[in-house]
Amino acid sequence: MKINILAIESSCDETSASVISDGKILNNIVATQSVHEKYGGVVPELASRAHQQHLVPVIQEAIKTSGLDKKELSAVAFTRGPGLMGSLLVGVSFAKAFAYSLGIPMIEVNHMEAHILAHFIDHPAPLFPFICLTVSGGHTQLVLVKSHLEMEVIGETLDDAVGEAFDKTAKLMGLPYPGGPMIDKFALNGDPKAYSFPLSDMPDLNYSFSGIKTAVLYFLRDRLKENATFIDDNKNDICASVQYTLIKMLMQKLKKAAKIHRINEIAIAGGVSANLGLRAELEKLSSELGWKVYIPSFEYCTDNAAMIAMAAHFKFLNQEFCGLDISPLAKMKIGK
């Protein structure tokens, strides 16, 4: 009998559903919330309301395009955390009702672990053990992945995430939301060494990105005093220089982690892993250091239910189910 799982992702501002059958992703339906664009960032209350509007149609589409009947489902998986509490609550509540109505088990999934396990959707997949750099708007972590279900955080940001540094820079420059992809776009035609920004050097394998956010703020403020059109005149170079600095900070710790743990299987995951500059630098280091680098397709970098489904598949095989008394966790750590 096949293992068919419906997976739901609602941790932030993407409403997504996916069906997986015996480890093969059948679809990945995503509804993006455009309501946040005029605010320059995600508004939690609006996000949860949008999830309520999108969730049923998205799930209906996922089941329909899978070719399966809902009675053929073996389990329902959902993102328990980390994420926005209101958004998580919408997904968890629906999963409970849906699973109860069908009399099938539920599987809770850690959002960040799912980002890592997205590497097993397509082939080739990384070999264990490998190091995964998880980078997003809310997280920056170095994770030692020992198996599908055993992971250890060996380094992380002590303040802000790298994705937040990208988005904050974009907002300071007056670029539209979401800002990270806009920085990447303009950086393609800029000089990465046009301007210099400080590199933070935190102990061990940890990161800090609050300093560069402040440095960019003061840099733009001082230049605009001298020239009101400075940002418009130098947009490409500013974006390229900030991106160069952020990527260099990420790579310094990643290289250190690979050396300490003597691992050359390297992966990246999370929304920022869609960044072209980061991907190019990883490919470069792959040649220089002999790394085997694994980068998910763009579809599986940003928040999506296919990665939740893949994580749930491995948990199903291990019979890791949860009860109806489960509740969302805004803060949920890898390996916990």
Q: Where residue 140 sits, what CATH number does that domain have? A: 3.30.420.40
What confidence tens digit (pLDDT) does each residue in 127-164 have? 999 999 999 888 999 999 999 999 999 999 999 999 99
Is 245 assigned to a binding site? no
Distance CA 108, CA 320 (A): 8
Is 111 assigned to a binding site? yes
Q: How many CA atoms lie within 13 A of 28 on its CB side?
A: 19
Is 134 assigned to a binding site? yes
The pLDDT value recorded for residue 336 is 67
Give φ, ψ of 210 to 5 degrees. -70, -35
Distances in Å between the Cα of 124 and the Cα atoms of 12, 55, 267, 294 are: 29, 32, 12, 8
The pLDDT value recorded for residue 162 is 95
Please list the residues that pair with 156 across neighbouring strands: 141
Same domain, 181 and 70: no
Number of neighbours of residue 39 by Cβ within 10 angstroms: 10
Distance CA 15, CA 304 (A): 8
The pLDDT value recorded for residue 33 is 79
In a domain, 63, yes or no: yes
Is 222 assigned to a binding site? no
In a domain, 284, yes or no: yes
Instruction: Give the residue ranges of the chain where pLDDT is below 70.
Output: 336
Q: Which amino acid is at 165?
A: A
Same domain, 9 and 96: yes
Give φ, ψ of 82 to 5 degrees. -75, 165
Give φ, ψ of 18 to 5 degrees. -150, 150
Same domain, 106 and 130: no
Is 54 assigned to a binding site? no
Is 167 assigned to a binding site? yes
Is 91 assigned to a binding site? no
Is 115 assigned to a binding site? yes
The pLDDT value recorded for residue 332 is 92
Distance CA 279, CA 304 (A): 20
Domain of residue 309, residue span = 4-116+303-317
Same domain, 23 and 165: no
Same domain, 136 and 93: no
**Helices 235-261 and 210-226 meet at what angle, rounded to 10?**
160
The pLDDT value recorded for residue 283 is 93
* Number of domains composing the chain: 2
Same domain, 68 and 147: no
Torsional sign, CA 312, 314, 319, 320? negative
Q: What does the angle CA 203 – CA 209 – CA 214 come to, to the nearest 5 degrees?
A: 125
pTM given for the model: 0.94
The pLDDT value recorded for residue 213 is 95
Is 43 assigned to a binding site? no
